[in-house]
């Protein structure tokens, strides 16, 4: 009798041990890789201030805020050049990326160009006696010692396309047809936007773009031809002395004046193409 009872107890014990091992084995199975629904749940459970990173569009702010210093416009030399009072000192400022038609400078041998006086009057009306904010680029001064700057009518923040359109005076000169694009390395931060603004003004016949174009010089083949300098971004008539001095690797040919302007080149002040 005792032997049978002992065997029965041993059998129960073995069954309990087997059941425990079976349960432990089920709990130790490897976890499956989360599916799409599980992944979405993980994203939704992230804190609100940890939004997934994304690449911004060219028109959206990128990087740090725009840095600019406040100044007071005290006089206007011409459409793209002004004098300001900055930190108690007079500074001559040349606006980056734009070139207004010249006004008369007899001492320099420069004749007045069409729309030069209108450009100066436009700048005078908008800026004289007003506060502006100056943003510098890579090169701070030109060979004449002038401060090179983007002139903001209001303090800038993001530098987005919308803000440049509405607040930057350099851009307004282009959009309203008082200047042409003048791209000079290394100050090219807004160069692409400026070309876009100039194109809009030309298509709408704004300002100087509404003037009847002068008849261009033509080559022997009867087609208009202009020679550009890829380094200086200036284009010339083919017979201009400065066109002959362009190094072969910097020489660029344009079929028309419009093509040269569209590419961001400015006309030579000697041959006036």
Q: Which residues are catalytic?
A: 94, 102, 146
Pick from 78, 103, 257: nearest CA to 173: 78
**Residue 200, number of CB atoms within 10 A of its CB:** 14
Q: What is the rounded CA–CA span in Å between residue 135 and residue 229?
A: 27
Cα Rg, the chain, nearest whole Å? 35
Query: What are the φ and ψ backbone dihedral angles of 133, each rounded to 5 degrees?
Result: -125, 125
Report the 3 state secondary structure along 52-77: CCCCCCCCCCCCCCCCCEEEEEEEEE
Residue 65 has which token pair?
């805020």
């Amino acid at each position: 009798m005792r032997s049978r009872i002992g065997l029965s107890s041993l059998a129960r014990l073995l069954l309990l041990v087997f059941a425990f091992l079976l349960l432990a084995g089920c709990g130790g199975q490897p976890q499956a890789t989360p599916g799409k629904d599980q992944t979405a749940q993980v994203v939704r459970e992230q804190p609100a201030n940890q939004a997934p990173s994304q690449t911004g569009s060219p028109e959206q702010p990128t990087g740090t805020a725009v840095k600019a210093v406040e100044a007071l416009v005290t006089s206007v030399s011409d459409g793209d050049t002004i004098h300001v009072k900055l930190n108690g000192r007079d500074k001559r400022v040349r606006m980056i990326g734009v070139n207004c038609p010249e006004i008369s400078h007899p001492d320099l041998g420069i004749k007045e160009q069409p729309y030069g006086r209108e450009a100066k009057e436009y700048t005078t009306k908008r800026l004289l006696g007003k506060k502006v904010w100056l943003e510098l680029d890579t090169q701070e001064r030109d060979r004449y010692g002038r401060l090179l700057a983007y002139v903001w009518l209001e303090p800038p923040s993001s530098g987005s396309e919308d803000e440049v359109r509405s607040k930057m005076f350099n851009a307004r000169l282009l959009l309203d047809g008082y200047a042409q694009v003048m791209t000079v390395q290394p100050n090219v931060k807004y160069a692409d936007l400026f070309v876009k603004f100039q194109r809009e003004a030309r298509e709408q016949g704004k300002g100087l773009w509404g003037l009847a174009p002068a008849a261009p010089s033509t080559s022997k083949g009867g087609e208009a031809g202009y020679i550009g300098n890829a380094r200086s971004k200036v284009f010339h008539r083919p017979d201009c002395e400065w066109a002959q001095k362009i190094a072969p690797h910097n020489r660029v040919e344009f079929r028309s004046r419009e093509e040269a302007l569209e590419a961001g080149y400015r006309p030579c002040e000697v041959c006036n193409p």
